[in-house]
């Protein structure tokens, strides 16, 4: 089992059209939250192509982790469905990244190279956030999460105030996701979060 399978808690499935539609609905709701201008402004995140990518990956990582947790307490049928839905969610993300690259003018000959680079960044961040959140869950220690956010969202350059606000936002967003049950996820429903960022 590779590290991605360990993080997501499943062996790969090839999804059906039904799961693709549900995954698309979850992804759209997730992106709406990830593009919240208040979070960018309050947490001093640069609203650039790189900044938007980093924040989307953060939110996707949190959502995938929630789906993994929901699977652990779900029925066998629901657990299998959550596995398939998680796989399709990554597929929707990959399709969206490909589309975005083309929209900003990346040529066909270069798209593959950029996609591979983004995939490496995505899986690296996914692993880092999973390790950080495991420490947060087990020992209430947010030090690894703070380091991961500083490195991945701010590229190492951030004020203590901004980092603290983002850390608070992420922790509140995790609580919001924890309130979303497996049934809602399996229906493609992700209620919007109304967390405060301290700003």
Domain count, the chain: 1
pTM of the model: 0.87
Match 């698309």 to its residue by tokens.
24
Instruction: Give me the pLDDT at residue 196, please.
Output: 61
- What residues make up the domain containing 41? 16-182
Which residue bears the tokens 């208040």? 38
Structural domain contains residue 66: yes
Q: Cα–Cα distance between 26 and 199 in angstroms, integer? A: 27
Highest mean pLDDT among 44-53, 89-98, 159-168, 188-197: 159-168
Question: What are the C-alpha distances in Å from 24 to residues 52, 112, 163, 170?
Answer: 18, 22, 30, 23
- Structural domain contains residue 187: no
Q: Which residue has the higher pLDDT, 16 or 26?
A: 26
Instruction: Identify which has the larger pLDDT, 106 or 90.
Output: 90
**If you average pLDDT over residues 38-65, what whole number do you get?**
95
Instruction: Report which of residues 112 and 60 the model is more confident about.
Output: 60
Tokens of 127: 């692993």
Q: Is residue 65 part of a domain?
A: yes
Q: Show the tokens assigned to 140.
A: 């209430």
Token pair, residue 107, equals: 């040529």
Asked, for residue 108, whether it belongs to a domain, the answer is yes
Which has more confidence, 68 or 105?
68
pLDDT at 7 over 70: no
């Amino acid at each position: 089992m590779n590290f991605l399978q360990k993080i997501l808690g499943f062996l790969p499935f090839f999804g059906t059209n039904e799961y693709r539609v549900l995954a698309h609905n979850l992804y759209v709701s997730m992106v709406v939250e990830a593009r919240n201008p208040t979070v960018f402004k309050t947490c001093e995140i640069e609203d650039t192509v790189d900044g938007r990518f980093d924040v989307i990956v953060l939110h996707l990582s949190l959502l995938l982790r929630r789906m993994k947790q929901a699977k652990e307490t779900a029925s066998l049928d629901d657990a299998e469905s959550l596995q398939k839905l998680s796989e399709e969610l990554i597929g929707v993300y990959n399709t969206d990244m490909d589309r975005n690259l083309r929209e900003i003018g990346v040529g066909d000959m270069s798209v593959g190279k950029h996609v591979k680079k983004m995939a490496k960044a995505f899986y690296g961040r996914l692993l880092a956030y999973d390790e950080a959140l495991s420490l947060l869950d087990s020992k209430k220690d947010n030090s690894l999460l703070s380091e991961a956010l500083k490195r991945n969202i701010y590229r190492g350059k951030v004020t203590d105030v901004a980092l603290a606000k983002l850390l608070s936002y992420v922790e509140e967003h995790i609580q919001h996701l924890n309130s979303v049950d497996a049934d809602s996820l399996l229906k493609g429903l992700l209620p919007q979060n109304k967390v405060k960022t301290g700003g």
